[in-house]
Structure 1
Amino acid sequence: TPPDTTIDSGPSGTVTTTFTFSATDNTGVDHFECRIDGGMWAVCTSPVSYSSLTDGNHTFEVRAVDTAGNIDPSPATRSWSVDATPPDTTIDSGPSGTVTTTTATFTFSATDNTGVDHFECRIDTFNWQICTSPFQITMAASGNHSFNVRAVDSAGNADASPANAAWLVDLPPDTTIDDGPNGVITETTVNIAFSGSDDIGIDHFECWFDGGNWTGCTSPYSAAGLVTGAHTFMVRAVDTFGSADSTPASLSWTNAATDWAQIDAGGNHTCAIKQDGTLYCWGQNDQGELGDGTNTNRGAPVQISTTNDWATVSAGRDHTCAIKTTGDLFCWGSNNQGQLGDGTNTSWRNVPVQIAGVWMQVAAGDAHTCAIDSSNQLYCWGSNNNGQLGDGTSVAKSTPTLVDSATDWQQVAAGEAHTCARKTSGALYCWGDNLFGQVGDNSGIDQNTPVAIAAIPDAAQIGVGSRHSCAVRTSGQLYCWGDNSKGQLGDGTTTKRTTPTQIGTASDWVQVTGGLNHTCARNNSGQVFCWGANHRGQVGDGTLIDRTTPTPVSSSAAWAAVSAGWDHVCAIQISGALACWGYNVDGQTGIGSTAGKSLPTQVGTITDASKLTAGYNHNCIINAADSLYCWGENTYGQLGNGTNTNAASPVQVGTAAWQSIDAGSGYTCGIQTNGALYCWGLNSQGRLGDGTWTDRNVPVQIGTDSDWSQVSAGGAHTCAVKTNGLLFCWGDNFDGQLGVGNNFDKYTPTQVGSDGDWAFVSTGDRHTCAGKTNGTLFCWGYNGSGGLGDGSTMSSNVPVQVGVAADWIDVAAGDNHTCARKVDGSVHCWGANFDGQLGDGTNNTQKTPVQVGNDTDWAAIAAGRWHTCALKSNGTLFCWGDNPFGQVGDGSATDRNTPQQVSGGVNNWLAVAAGDDHTCGIAGDAKLFCWGRNNYGQLGDGTAWVPVPQLIP
Structure 2
Amino acid sequence: MRRAAEATARRAEAAGATAEAARARPAVGAVGILDARSRQTAPQIPPDSPTLADAIMVAAGDSHTCAIRHDGSLYCWGDNSFGQLGVPQATAVSSSTPVRVLFPASLGAATITQIALTERTTFAIDSQLRLWAWGNNETGLLANGSKDAMAHDTPAIVEDGAAPLLVRKIAPEWYSACALTSTSNIYCWGANFFSSLGPDARGEESLVPVKAFNFTATAGPRAVLARGIGSIGSCFSTGVAADGLRCWGAMGGGYILTNTPSSSEGGVNYSAHMPLIEAGATLPLSEISYGTNFGCARDDVGGLFCWGANNSSGQHGAEAPPPGTAAAIPGVWGPMSTGYVFVCAVDDQRQLRCRGSNDQGQLGRSTPMMGDNARLEPVVLGDGTALAKVVAVSAGFFHACAIVEGACGPTGPGQVLCWGKGTLGQLGDGAGTSSAVPVEVKAP
How much does 1:321 deviate? 1.5
User: In 2, distance between residues paired with 1:269 and 1:618?
Assistant: 12
**Letter aligned with residue 648 of structure 1:** A
Q: CA deviation at 1:330?
A: 1.5
- What is aligned with 1:620? 401
Once residues 383 and 413 of structure 1 are traced to their aligned partners in structure 2, the CA distance between those partners, rounded to angstroms, is 16
1:641 aligns with 2:429: yes
Matched with 1:360 is 113
Measured in 2, the distance between the counterparts of 1:363 and 1:588 equals 19
Alpha-carbon deviation of 1:398? 1.9
The alpha-carbon distance between structure 1 residues 516 and 456, as it changes in their structure 2 partners (threshold 3 A), is farther
* Counterpart secondary structure, 1:644: coil
**Structure 1 pair 267/383, CA: closer, same or farther in 2 (3 Å)?**
closer
- Distance in 2 between residues matched to 1:329 and 1:538, nearest whole Å: 34
1:439-458 equivalence runs, <5 A: 439-443=197-201, 445-457=204-216, 458=219
Deviation string 1:39-96 (CA, Å, 9 cap, x unpaired) is: xxxxxxxxxxxxxxxxxxxxxxxxxxxxxxxxxxxxxxxxxxxxxxxxxxxxxxxxxx
Corresponding residue SS for 1:332: strand
Whether the 8 Å contact between 2:393 and 2:401 is mirrored in structure 1 is: yes
Match of 1:308 in 2: 53
Q: Which residue of 1 aligns with 2:12?
A: none
CA deviation after TM superposition for structure 1 residue 312, in Å = 0.8
Q: How does 1:750-789 map to 2 (within 5 A)?
A: none
1:588-632 CA-to-partner distances (Å, cap 9, x unmatched) read 111233333453111133443333322222223334332233322
Deviation of 1:365 (Å)? 0.5
Shift of residue 579 of structure 1? 0.9
Secondary structure at the aligned position of 2:84 is classed as: strand
1:496 alignment partner, one of 267, 270, 276: 270
Do residues 570 (structure 1) and 315 (structure 2) align?
no
> 3-state SS of the aligned residue for 1:453?
strand
Partner of 2:299: 523
The answer to whether the Cα contact below 8 Å between 2:121 and 2:133 also exists between their aligned partners in 1 is yes
Change (3 A) 1:271 1:454: closer
Q: Quick check: 1:582–1:598 contact (8 Å CA) kept in 2?
A: no
Q: Distance in 2 between matches of 1:427 and 1:638?
A: 34
Q: Deviation of residue 389 (structure 1)?
A: 1.9
Whether the aligned pair in 1 keeps the contact of 2:32 and 2:117 (CA below 8 Å) is no
AA partner of residue 619 (structure 1) = A
**Does the C-alpha gap of structure 1 residues 546 and 599 become closer, same or farther in structure 2, counting only changes over 3 Å?**
same
User: What CA distance in whole angstroms lies between the structure 1 residues aligned with 2:302 and 2:248?
Assistant: 24
> For residues 607 and 552 of structure 1, do their structure 2 counterparts lie closer, same or farther at Cα, with a shift above 3 Å needed?
farther
Paired residue for 2:324, among 529, 540, 549? 549
CA distance in 1, matches of 2:95, 2:185: 35
Match for residue 157 of structure 2 among 402, 415, 425: 402
SS at match of 2:298: strand
Q: Which amino acid aligns with 1:652?
A: E
Deviations 1:182-235 (A, max 9, x none): xxxxxxxxxxxxxxxxxxxxxxxxxxxxxxxxxxxxxxxxxxxxxxxxxxxxxx
Q: How do 1:385-396 and structure 2 match up within 5 A? A: 385-395=138-148, 396=150
Distance 1:305 1:502 in 2: 49
Query: Judging changes above 3 Å, is the alpha-carbon distance between structure 1 residues 630 and 305 closer, same or farther for their aligned structure 2 residues?
Result: farther
1:527-553 CA-to-partner distances (Å, cap 9, x unmatched) read 21122221244543x224465335335
In the aligned structure 2, how far is the partner of 1:575 from the partner of 1:441?
41
**Shift in Å, 1:456:** 4.2
Contact 2:96 2:430 in 1 (8 A): yes
Task: Report matched runs for 1:233-248 at 5 Å.
Answer: none
* Structure 2 letter corresponding to 1:534: N
Correspondence for 1:378 among 131, 136, 160: 131
CA distance in 2, matches of 1:618, 1:500: 32
* Aligned match of 1:756: none
Shift in alpha-carbon separation, 1:532–1:455, aligned structure 2, 3 A: farther
Provide the C-alpha distance between the structure 2 equivalents of 1:272 and 1:454, rounded to a whole number of angstroms. Answer: 24
Letter in 2 for 1:350: S
Higher relative contact order structure (alpha carbons within 8 Å, sequence separation ≥ 6): 1
Question: TM (normalized to structure 1)?
Answer: 0.36
Q: Secondary structure at the match of 1:611?
A: strand
Quick one: distance in 1 between partners of 2:32 and 2:292?
14
Secondary structure of 2:81's counterpart equals: strand
Distance 1:545 1:375 in 2: 42
CA shift, 1:499, in A, is 4.7
Alignment partner, residue 245 of structure 2: 478
Quote the residue 1:334 is aligned against: 79
Which one of 51, 72, 88 corresponds to residue 343 of structure 1?
Answer: 88
Number of the residue aligned with 1:461? 224
Aligned residue identity for 1:603: V
2:312 paired with 1:533: no
Matched letter for residue 513 of structure 1: S
RMSD: 3.1
Query: Which residue of structure 1 aligns with residue 418 of structure 2?
Result: 630
Q: 1:530 to 1:455 in 2, by over 3 A?
A: farther
Please list every run of 5 or more consecutive structure 1 residues that lacks an aligned counterpart in the other structure. 1-265, 278-303, 656-697, 699-953
Residues 275 and 622 in structure 1, CA contact (< 8 A), matched pair in contact too: no
Hey, what's the Cα distance between the residues in 2 that align with 1:318 and 1:379? 20
Amino acid at match of 2:400: N
Instruction: Tell me the residue number matched to 1:12.
Output: none
| 1:272 CA drift (Å) | 8.7
Give a deviation string over 1:496-522, Cα, whole Å, max 9, x none. 125543322755222101112221111
Identify the residue that residue 487 of structure 1 maps to in structure 2. 254
Aligned-partner Cα distance in 1 for 2:135–2:146: 12
CA contact (8 A) 1:486 1:546 kept: no
Of Structure 1 and Structure 2, the greater strand share is in 1
Alignment of structure 1 residues 253-332 onto 2, 5 Å? 306-332=51-77
Q: 2:391 aligns with which of 602, 610, 619?
A: 610
Whichever of the two has the greater Rg, that structure is 1
Q: Give the 3 Å change call, closer, same or farther, for CA 550–402 of structure 1 in structure 2.
A: farther
Q: Pick closer, same or farther for the CA change 1:509–1:550 going to 2, 3 Å.
A: farther
- 8 Å contact 2:351–2:387 — kept in the other structure? yes
1:269–1:634 CA contact under 8 A, matched in 2: no
Amino acid at match of 2:195: G
More helix by share: 2
Q: Aligned partners of 1:364 and 1:418: how far apart in 2?
A: 12
Aligned residues: 363
What is the 5 A alignment of 1:78-227? none
Check whether the contact 1:478–1:502 (CA below 8 A) recurs between aligned residues: yes
- What residue number does 2:332 align with? 558
In structure 2, the CA distance between the partners of 1:441 and 1:650, relative to structure 1 (3 Å rule), is farther
CA spacing shift, 1:558–1:612, aligned 2, 3 Å? same
From the superposition, tell whether residues 451 and 552 of structure 1 become closer, same or farther in structure 2 (CA, over 3 Å).
same
Cα distance in 1, alignment partners of residues 432 and 239 from structure 2? 40
* Cα offset, 1:274, TM superposition: 8.6
Give yes or no for contact 2:166–2:181 (8 Å, CA) kept in 1: yes
Out of 401, 405, 413, the position equivalent to 2:171 is: 413
- The 1:308–1:588 alpha-carbon spacing in structure 2 relative to 1, beyond 3 Å, is same
CA gap 1:331/1:308 in 2 versus in 1, 3 angstroms: same
**Structure 2 gap ranges (5+):** 1-27, 40-48, 104-110, 261-267, 381-385, 405-409
Structure 2: distance between partners of 1:426 and 1:653:
36
Decide whether aligned partners of structure 1 residues 522 and 389 sit closer, same or farther in structure 2, where only a CA change above 3 A counts.
Answer: same
Q: 1:652 to 1:427 in 2, by over 3 A?
A: farther
Corresponding residue to 2:290 among 510, 514, 531: 514
Compute the displacement of 1:313 (Å): 1.0
> Alignment partner of 1:393: what SS?
coil
Q: Percent identity?
A: 31
Q: Match for residue 195 of structure 2?
A: 437
Structure 2 counterpart of 1:299: none
Contact 1:631 1:646 (C-alpha < 8 Å) held by counterparts: yes
Q: Could you say what secondary structure the match of 1:486 adopts?
A: helix
- How far off is 1:349 after superposition? 2.4
Matched, 1:600 2:376: yes
